[in-house]
Amino acid sequence: MSDAVEAGHDGKLYLCATPIGNLQDITLRVLETLRLADLVAAEDTRRTRQLFSAYDIHTPLLSYREQNREAAGAKIIKRLEEGETVALVSDAGTPGISDPGQHLVALCVERGIPIESLPGPNAAIAALVLSGLPTDRFCFEGFLPRKTGARRKALEAIARDERTLLFHESPARVVDTLGDILDVLGDRRMALARELTKKFETVLRGTVSSVRSTIAAGEVKGEIVLVVEGAPPGAADTIDEAAAVDDVMRLKEQGLSLKEAVAVVVEEQAPGMSRSALYNAALKRNA
Ligand code: SAM
- Residue whose CA is closest, atom 20 of ligand 1? 20
By most ligand atoms within 8 Å of CB, the mutation choice from 15, 20, 30, 129 for ligand 1 is 20
Judge if 282 and 190 occupy the same domain: no
User: Regarding predicted confidence, which is higher, 259 or 197?
Assistant: 197
Tell me: the pLDDT tens digits for 176-189?
999 999 999 999 99
Nearest C-alpha neighbor of 104 from the set 76, 126, 62, 140 = 76
Judge if 104 and 24 occupy the same domain: yes
Cα-to-centroid distance, 123 and ligand 1 (Å) = 5
Residue 105's CATH number = 3.40.1010.10
Percent of the chain residues topping a pLDDT of 90: 78
Task: Determine how many CB atoms are found less than 10 A away from the CB of residue 239.
Answer: 20
Cα-to-centroid distance, 224 and ligand 1 (Å) = 7
Residue 221, domain extent: 124-228
Question: Does residue 126 line the site of ligand 1, with CB under 6 A?
Answer: no
Structural domains of the chain, count: 3
Average pLDDT of span 33-49: 98
User: By the 8 A CB rule, do 225 and 196 touch?
Assistant: yes
Judge if 14 and 103 occupy the same domain: yes
Judge if 17 and 76 occupy the same domain: yes
Tell me: the pLDDT tens digits for 97-153?
999 999 999 999 999 999 999 999 999 999 999 999 999 999 999 999 999 999 999
Cα-to-centroid distance, 207 and ligand 1 (Å) = 22
pTM of the model: 0.84
Judge if 221 and 240 occupy the same domain: no
- Residue whose CA is closest, atom 2 of ligand 1? 93
Least confident of 8-12, 54-58, 141-145: 8-12
Judge if 92 and 184 occupy the same domain: no
Identify the three-state secondary structure at position 145.
coil
Instruction: Name the DSSP class of 16.
Output: E
What angle do the packed helices 28-36 and 45-55 form, to 10 degrees?
Answer: 110
Given 121, 154, 176, which residue is the final one in a domain? 121
Given 106, 121, 136, which residue is the final one in a domain? 121
Alpha helices (runs of H) in the chain, residue ranges in sequence order = 28-36, 45-55, 69-81, 101-111, 123-131, 148-157, 174-185, 208-216, 235-238, 241-253, 258-269, 275-286
Q: Tell me the average pLDDT of the chain.
A: 93
Map 189-235 to HEC letters. EEEEEECCCCCCCEEEEEEHHHHHHHHHCCCCCCCEEEEECCCCCCH
**CA–CA gap between residue 170 and residue 168 (Å, rounded):** 7
Least confident of 8-12, 91-95, 185-189, 228-232: 8-12
Question: Does residue 92 line the site of ligand 1, with CB under 6 A?
Answer: yes
Judge if 115 and 162 occupy the same domain: no
